[in-house]
Structure 1
Amino acid sequence: MGIVNAPPPSAWPPMGSGQLRPSRSLMVCLTCQHFQHTLAEAGVTQPACAHHQQRIPQGAHLTHRCHQWMQRLEKQIGWCPEGA
């Protein structure tokens, strides 16, 4: 069950600089189970983290991760949230 009346990702606050740490492996925000994109007012895509309910700075989703990084589950259980 999801949270009722949760704000849309575009309304989430930006992520603080101390929450992300550099990563030189494939364990980055882009490969995390909690990663998603949202659409800004100007039609620009903005990376976001569903776990933290915060927007990720542009470009940081390619080179950084947080302590709650979680491997995507599509291959293990055949589940894809984008296709639902």
Structure 2
Amino acid sequence: MGAPLPRPASLDARLDLPIEEWPYLDEVLLKARSRKVCMTCHWFRHHAGVSCIPVLTCQLHQGLIAHGEHLTSRCQGWTDDMTRSQGWAPEVA
């Protein structure tokens, strides 16, 4: 394996923040009318926030997704969920 690629300083600083303090991805998300929305993306995650309120995140952009936007928006970095593309338990050769 090669050496990991260096991260931009802005992303490095953001990784040190708690998830609740990540910025919202308003400018990154595009409206979509297909199944290619944040919720079906490999990078989409949800976390239990303060008072167990779900916090929706994009691990690729290290940012928060406003509630409801995960159903109607996506970004240029959308990738199919590994489960859908390879199956729940793919065979190992």
Common fold by TM > 0.5: yes
Partners of 1:8 and 1:51 in 2: how far apart?
A: 16
**Could you list the per-position Cα deviations for residues 15-52 of structure 1 after superposition, in whole angstroms to 9, with x for gaps in the alignment?**
2x221111000000000000000122121101100000
In proportion to residue count, which structure has more helix? Answer: 2
Given that 1:12 and 1:53 are in contact with CA atoms closer than 8 Å, whether structure 2 keeps it comes out as yes
- The higher radius of gyration belongs to 2
Query: How many residues of Structure 1 are paired with residues of Structure 2 in the alignment?
Result: 75
- Any stretches of 5+ residues in structure 2 without a counterpart? 5-14
Once superposed, what is the RMSD of the aligned Cα atoms?
2.2
Aligned residue runs from structure 1 range 3-82, under 5 A = 6-15=16-25, 17-75=26-84, 76=86, 78=88
Amino acid at match of 1:53: Q
Task: Show the counterpart of 1:82.
Answer: none
Percent identical across equivalent pairs?
Answer: 32
Using the size of structure 2 for normalisation, the TM-score is: 0.69
Amino acid at match of 1:11: E
Partners of 1:72 and 1:19 in 2: how far apart?
A: 19
Partners of 1:30 and 1:12 in 2: how far apart?
A: 18
- Any stretches of 5+ residues in structure 1 without a counterpart? 80-84
Q: How far apart are residue 9 of structure 1 and its match?
A: 2.7
